[in-house]
A = this chain, B = another copy of it.
Amino acid sequence: MRVLLIEDDSLLGSAVRDQITADGHCVDWAKRLAEAEAFRDVAHYDLILLDLMLPDGRGLEFLRSRRAAGDQTPVMILTARDQVSDRIAGLNAGADDYLVKPFDLAELSARLGAVVRRYAGNPNPVLVLGGLTIDTAARSVLKAGRRITLTAREWVLFETLMLRPTMLHSKAQLEERLYSFEAEVESNTIEVYIGRLRKKLGHEMIETVRGIGYRLRQSESSEA
C-alpha cells in the first residue's frame, strides 16, 4: 500500500514514516501542501494522512478540492486534541477518519490495518503497466490474458518496483524491503528474485542499471 503523509513537523513526521514503513507500506512524505500536490500529480495513493495545521494554507481546502475533483482516496486527519471543530470540519470535508495527537504508533498501525481491510474489500483498483494488468486484490498479474501468480517475496519485490515506476531502486533498498532490517543476507538474493520475476513477467519488464540498481522499464512499446 502506498501512503502520502502530509505533515510539517519533522519529529512526528519521521516517527510516522518509520512506523508505516515498518508495517510494510510505502510512504511519501510532503511537508507542505504544494509538495503534496506535486506528489499527487505523479502517483496514486491508497491513503492520505493529512495534518490540518500546516504552514502554507489550510489543509481543509486541499481536502475539499480533492473531493470536489472526484478523488475518493481515503483521507485520515491528524489533529490536536483540542481542535474539535477542526475534526468535525474535516469529516464534513470528506475525511474518512481522524487521529488525535499525540497518538500511539500502535493506534496508527491499527487504523492503517482497518484501511487496508476496507480497501481490500472494494472492487480492485487495477493498474496497467507496460502490457501487464496488475490486480492488487488478487495479488496477481495478467499477462496477455494469462493469470500469473507471484509468490510472497516476488510480490513484495514487484510491488516495490511498481509503486515507484520511474525510480531506480538499489539492491540495498530492495533487500531492506524484503527483510525488514535484520538479516544482512550476504548473497545475491535480489538478483535471483529479479531473475525469477523476469522469467514470469517477461525479461523486458525490469531494467538493470549496472552498479546502481533496478527499475521498471517505462511503458516502452505500449504505444509503438
User: Which A residues contact B (CB, under 8 angstroms)?
Assistant: 10-11, 14, 26-28, 31, 35, 38-39, 42-43, 72, 91, 94-97, 117, 120-124, 135, 137-140, 147, 149, 151-152, 155, 164, 166-168, 173, 176, 209-212, 215, 218, 220
A72-B35 in contact given A138-B215, A147-B218, A149-B209 (Cβ < 8 Å): yes
A212/B139 in contact, CB under 8 A: yes
A123/B168 in contact, CB under 8 A: no
A209 to B14, CA, bound (A): 35
A210/B152 in contact, CB under 8 A: yes
Of B120, B137, B151, B166, the residue contacting A137 (CB under 8 A) is B166
A210 to B28, CA, bound (A): 30
Q: Which residues of B lie under 8 Å from residue A91 when comparing CB positions? A: 10-11
Q: Which residues of B lie under 8 Å from residue A94 when comparing CB positions? A: 10
A204 to chain B minimum Cβ distance, whole angstroms, is: 15
List the 10 closest pairs (A to B, CB-CB), nearest first.
A152-B211, A137-B167, A139-B168, A138-B166, A10-B91, A138-B168, A152-B212, A138-B167, A10-B96, A42-B123
Q: Which residues of B lie under 8 Å from residue A211 when comparing CB positions? A: 151-152
Report the nearest B residue to A117, measured CB to CB.
B173
A168 to B91, CA, bound (A): 31
A155 to B209, CA, bound (A): 11
A72 to B31, CA, bound (A): 9
A–B complex contacts, Cβ < 8 Å, 10 sampled: A10-B94, A10-B95, A11-B91, A28-B123, A31-B72, A42-B123, A139-B168, A140-B168, A147-B220, A151-B211
